[in-house]
Amino acid sequence: MAAKRPLQIIFNRIYRGNSCRSFGALSENTMTSSSSQNLIDLEYQRSAHNYHPIPVVFSKAKGSSIWDPEGNKYLDFLSAYSAVNQGHCHPKVLKALTEQAERLTLSSRAFYNDRFPLFADHLTSMFGYEMVLPMNTGAEGVETALKLARKWGYEKKKIPKDEAIIVSCCGCFHGRTLAVISMSCDNEATRGFGPLLPGHLKVDFGDEVALEKIFKVHGDQIAGFLFEPIQGEAGVIIPPEGYLKAVRDLCSKYNILMIADEIQTGLARTGRMLACDWEEVRPDVVVRPLILFDYSRKGIRWRSDTCQCSASRQRCYALHSAGRAWKAGNGCCLSRALYSNAVPPELCSEVYLGESSTSTFGGNPLASAVAVASLDVIREEGLAERSAQMGQELRQLLIKVQQQFPNVIKEVRGKGLFNAVELNSQTLSSVSAYDICIKLKERGVLAKPTHDTIIRLTPPLCMSLNELEEGAKVLHDVLKLDVPKMQKEKPETVSQPATNACDHCGRTL
Ligand SMILES: Cc1ncc(COP(=O)(O)O)c(C=O)c1O
């Protein structure tokens, strides 16, 4: 996840007061004590500083609740960036995990294991897809989608060798690998890591006119358009209604793979199994700790032995639509590619990805067992519907807070339980979203800022109405009681001209 603040600020925030750290040998006390502060100290000394966490230590969790080592309880309003949508330590998932962990955890794909085939069969028969390719992280999923798009571009679209282009959106976040950061608008993610990967163009998110313009000029070379249906890291940015449909139409018109990164939005988070479902749009490739490929729109033949619907595209999509969604693991690391039976077998393994996309951990028996249980929980507990309903409740509560602090809260927005509160930087002056998240934490609510003025509120989908009310009340209390104090304590800042404009387009997002 994004780590944007300079190290010094992080250091200052974590280590307030006079504590002067000495590096080198750790004291015996530090090694043995498991107090929150000691653990934070230990991590700071012994682990690379690639994050700037809110200073709270998770020690135990259940549902929407977290406890630190001192026994303080918190409400989780982040859900590990949507990785624990079902809630922490769900009993059904836990049972699958512990039973499997006692038997077998890892085989590598050098051999077969007795879970992955069952999982693959469970998944494919449940959703009407033919094959699965298991992977690990979100960035790896995006990387694989990029590789797939390029290969498809050369082999099917006949793009001249090494000229394939991927179009991505300003403000996007797709992970931190080299290929993926090459598309990033976050200078801190890119500077110092060059040369970045060539072969990509940027377009404004939500602007279908600009997208068509790029497609018109460069269409023959463009293999894929990669986008988030709702931009998460950028601050829960929701595109104008009709955008997803327009993207679908344009990708079809210019023969370009539509690649939806649903890593944060997918699998019930926004109130639909996939955010693209809101406009009943079927991308060619969906990345959500999984990748789904749909070649049907690209003129690649259907397998007549398994799919009887070659006569009608619409019917094909309906048949496959139930199979697009998949939840990887309730916090257990698992990513996968799911091939619909629209994909000819030679694309499934040998030609397109095959041994160019293997993984030691992908398809491990532990994650396979957990994934089956996790998916069942989403379905059995109707978490997509719940997210839609509870999301409305949460936004109503937040809008009430906004009405009480109209100068502080600029906007409340979201879909389902994927929400953000945007603060007014002018009114807040030197107080940032991070400062407010620290105060939320002190009052028992865990949320994460993005940029300096946006707080994401994405609780587990099992969160109760009472807990949502408590979260909104705590935000109210922080704005009423803590912000005025912080404003007094911190010197006012004069707003500076933008100094960190995007290296790609020169704008500050
Ligand atoms: C939209 C999106 N894509 C990709 C990623 C990268 O996932 P990972 O951190 O598992 O590599 C994230 C991470 O939050 C994300 O939000």
Residue 93 carries which side chain, given as an amino acid letter? V
Closest CA to 419 of 396, 403, 441: 396
User: How many Å apart are CA 62 and CA 464, to the nearest integer?
Assistant: 13
Of 118-122, 135-139, 230-234, 314-318, the poorest mean pLDDT is in 314-318
DSSP for 380-440, written as a single string: HTTHHHHHHHHHHHHHHHHHHHHHHSTTTEEEEEEETTEEEEEE-HHHHTT--HHHHHHHH
Q: Averaged over 233-253, what is the pLDDT? A: 97
Phi, psi dihedrals of residue 229, rounded to the nearest 5°: -60, -35
pLDDT value for 455: 98
pTM across the whole model: 0.84
Residues 444-455 pLDDT 10s: 999 999 988 999
Query: 169 C-alpha to center of ligand 1: Å?
Result: 15
Query: What are the tokens at 224?
Result: 């894929």
Residue nearest to atom 2 of ligand 1 (CA): 174
Angle at 339 between CA 216 and CA 293, to 5 degrees: 15
Of 177-186, 229-238, 285-294, 443-452, the poorest mean pLDDT is in 285-294
pLDDT value for 145: 84
Query: What are the tokens at 24?
Result: 């080198």
Q: State the burial class of residue 381 (Cβ atoms within 10 Å of its Cβ: 0-12, 13-18, 19+).
A: middle
DSSP 195: S
Give the CA distances from residue 459 to residues 53, 141, 417, 475, in Å, rounded to whole numbers and listed in that order.
17, 24, 7, 14
Residue nearest to atom 4 of ligand 1 (CA): 174
In sequence order, which residues have a C-beta less than 8 Å from that of residue 229 and are 6 or more positions away?
239, 244, 260, 262, 265, 270, 274, 275, 276, 278
Confidence bin at 324 (pLDDT 50/70/90): very low
Query: 448 C-alpha to center of ligand 1: Å?
Result: 15
pLDDT value for 273: 85
Question: For the chain, what is the mean pLDDT?
Answer: 81
pLDDT value for 205: 97
Q: Which residue did the predictor score with more confidence, 33 or 314?
A: 33
Of 161-175, 264-278, 301-315, 477-491, the poorest mean pLDDT is in 301-315
Q: Which atom of ligand 1 is nearest to the CA of 335?
A: 10
Confidence bin at 130 (pLDDT 50/70/90): low
Query: 1 C-alpha to center of ligand 1: Å?
Result: 7
Give the CA distances from residue 490 to residues 369, 401, 423, 493, 499, in Å, rounded to whole numbers and listed in that order.
51, 24, 17, 9, 22
- Kindly list the protein residues whose Cβ atom lies closer than 6 A to any atom of ligand 1: 1, 81, 137-139, 142, 173-175, 228, 232-233, 261, 263-264
Residues 63-103 pLDDT 10s: 999 999 999 999 999 999 988 999 999 999 999 999 999 99
Residues 257-285 pLDDT 10s: 999 998 899 889 999 988 999 999 988 88
Query: What are the tokens at 384?
Result: 């997509």
Of 108-117, 140-149, 164-173, 474-483, the poorest mean pLDDT is in 140-149
Pocket test for ligand 1, best of 173, 176, 227, 231 (most atoms within 8 A of CB): 173
Residue nearest to atom 8 of ligand 1 (CA): 138
pLDDT value for 63: 96
Query: 184 C-alpha to center of ligand 1: Å?
Result: 12
Query: 232 C-alpha to center of ligand 1: Å?
Result: 9
pLDDT value for 325: 28
Q: Which atom of ligand 1 is nearest to the CA of 177?
A: 11
Query: 83 C-alpha to center of ligand 1: Å?
Result: 10
Residue 323: pLDDT over 90: no
pLDDT value for 8: 40
Radius of gyration of the chain (CA): 23
Closest CA to 276 of 349, 344, 225: 225
pLDDT value for 128: 57
Pocket test for ligand 1, best of 50, 85, 264, 285 (most atoms within 8 A of CB): 264
Q: Classify each residue of 79-105 as buried b or exposed e, where b means 16 or more C-beta atoms within 10 Å of its C-beta.
A: bbbbbbbbbbbbeebeebbeebeeeee
Q: Averaged over 471-483, what is the pLDDT? A: 98
pLDDT value for 493: 60
Query: 302 C-alpha to center of ligand 1: Å?
Result: 31
pLDDT value for 353: 56
Q: Classify each residue of 126-137 as buried b or exposed e, where b means 16 or more C-beta atoms within 10 Å of its C-beta.
A: ebbbbbbbbbbb
Pairing of strands 335-340, 290-293: parallel
pLDDT value for 403: 98
Residue 61: pLDDT over 90: yes
Q: Which atom of ligand 1 is nearest to the CA of 176?
A: 11
Residue 492: pLDDT over 70: no
Percentage of the chain lying above the pLDDT 70 cut: 76
Q: Averaged over 492-504, what is the pLDDT? A: 63
Q: 227 - beta bridge partners?
A: 260
Query: 318 C-alpha to center of ligand 1: Å?
Result: 28
DSSP for 215-247, written as a single string: HHHHTTTEEEEEE-SSBTTTTSBPPPTTHHHHH
pLDDT value for 313: 25
Confidence bin at 236 (pLDDT 50/70/90): very high
Percentage of the chain lying above the pLDDT 90 cut: 59
Residue 491: pLDDT over 80: no
